[in-house]
Copies of this chain bind each other. A is one copy, B any other.
Amino acid sequence: MMATIRVGLLGYGGLGQAAARMLAVKKQMILVAAADSKGYAYHPEGLDAARLSLAVSRHGSVGYDPAVGVPADAPIQALLEQQVPADGYFLALPNLPNTFMASVARTFITSGWRGVLVDAIKRTSAVEQLLTLAPDLQRAGITYVTGCGATPGLLTAAAALAAQSFSEVLSVQITFGVGIANWEAYRSTVREDIAHLEGYSVERARAMSDAQVSELLDRTGGLLTLEKMEHADDILLELAGICGRERVSVGGVVDTRNPQKPLSTNVRVTGRTFEGKTSTHTFTLGDETSMAANVCGPALGYLKAGIEMHRRGHHGIWSSAELMPRFVG
């Protein structure tokens, strides 16, 4: 029986808070540390997710939780200096700027901490930066699993599995539907989506005020329709040897005013069999599963798989297309 896994969360926005709520119902994991852009909190016996959320909504940071929070200018570094006994961290961080995830990984590498890191990263270019850190991660005794959300993540892994029936994979098409009742609960995520729109860039989206985002959403009736997105599913499937990245496409529709999904999220893998037949396998997510469930569930599942790798002494970087996530009870 595996001992309880002590988990830290970096980022305490919509995703981080959802992960904390999920951790609260897991027997095999406890939340021992959290940090956001303004502070951190930790407790080796377990943090109270609800109280941390209260501190965020009232004061803007987990660092302002009166009992366990500490405001800090460089919260991740400050947290790591406390030598919290966390087995792994879920980097539920904004994907912007694009260099952020790799810079956080570097902070872990230089800190001397050893354990497992998982991210729910989105962009291909951000994964490329992480991959250059592979030797450093290995030397540092860190097991990093990248692309562990829904896409990349759950759907990438489903594509890697579906590929098994084929001699050659001709295309992988990921189409997601996301419905959120209120975009302001996912400020960073929505800006990341906007950055994928024609005429927008990561920088431009990030610089938008809340009023400007609202105005844009008013013009589109709350819908963001995204095509040919730069999504790391492509590089992860290429690295896993499944197909060239140009055969992978990601698009979708985000409804920012309706928790119901505008379409069922799915991945379609088309390939040619050894008998010369062309066919398509499809993996479709139930509409009633939220983005939070489809991102945080896999992230914790890969974290558990990463812990097994780490305990076996395997350090470096892997992806969601290479490991089978473990179910976290």
Q: 8 closest Cβ contacts across the A-B interface? A: A279-B286, A279-B288, A273-B293, A22-B274, A164-B298, A277-B288, A164-B297, A324-B324
With an 8 A cutoff between CB atoms, is A292 at the interface? yes
- Residues A273 and B301 in contact in the complex (CB < 8 Å), given A284-B282, A312-B314, A324-B323: no
The answer on a CB contact under 8 Å between A283 and B286 is: no
Stoichiometry (number of copies): 2
With an 8 A cutoff between CB atoms, is A161 at the interface? yes
A74 to B66, CA, bound (A): 74
Scan residues 270-287 of chain A and give those whose CB is less than 8 A from a CB of chain B. 270, 273-275, 277-287
With an 8 A cutoff between CB atoms, is A166 at the interface? yes
What is the size, in residues, of chain A's interface with B at 8 Å between Cβ atoms?
A: 55
- Residues A293 and B165 in contact in the complex (CB < 8 Å), given A241-B327, A288-B279: yes
With an 8 A cutoff between CB atoms, is A96 at the interface? no
Residue contacts A-B, CB under 8 angstroms, 20 given: A25-B167, A154-B161, A154-B164, A157-B161, A158-B158, A161-B161, A163-B327, A164-B297, A165-B298, A166-B293, A167-B297, A241-B326, A241-B329, A242-B327, A270-B286, A279-B285, A279-B287, A281-B285, A283-B283, A322-B324
Q: Select the residue from A162, A240, A278 with max chain B CB neighbours within 10 A.
A: A162
Residues of B within 8 A of A294 (CB): 164-165
With an 8 A cutoff between CB atoms, is A160 at the interface? yes
With an 8 A cutoff between CB atoms, is A182 at the interface? no
A141 to B36, CA, bound (A): 47
The answer on a CB contact under 8 Å between B285 and A165 is: yes
The answer on a CB contact under 8 Å between A281 and B277 is: no
With an 8 A cutoff between CB atoms, is A289 at the interface? yes
Scan residues 149-193 of chain A and give those whose CB is less than 8 A from a CB of chain B. 154, 157-158, 160-167, 169
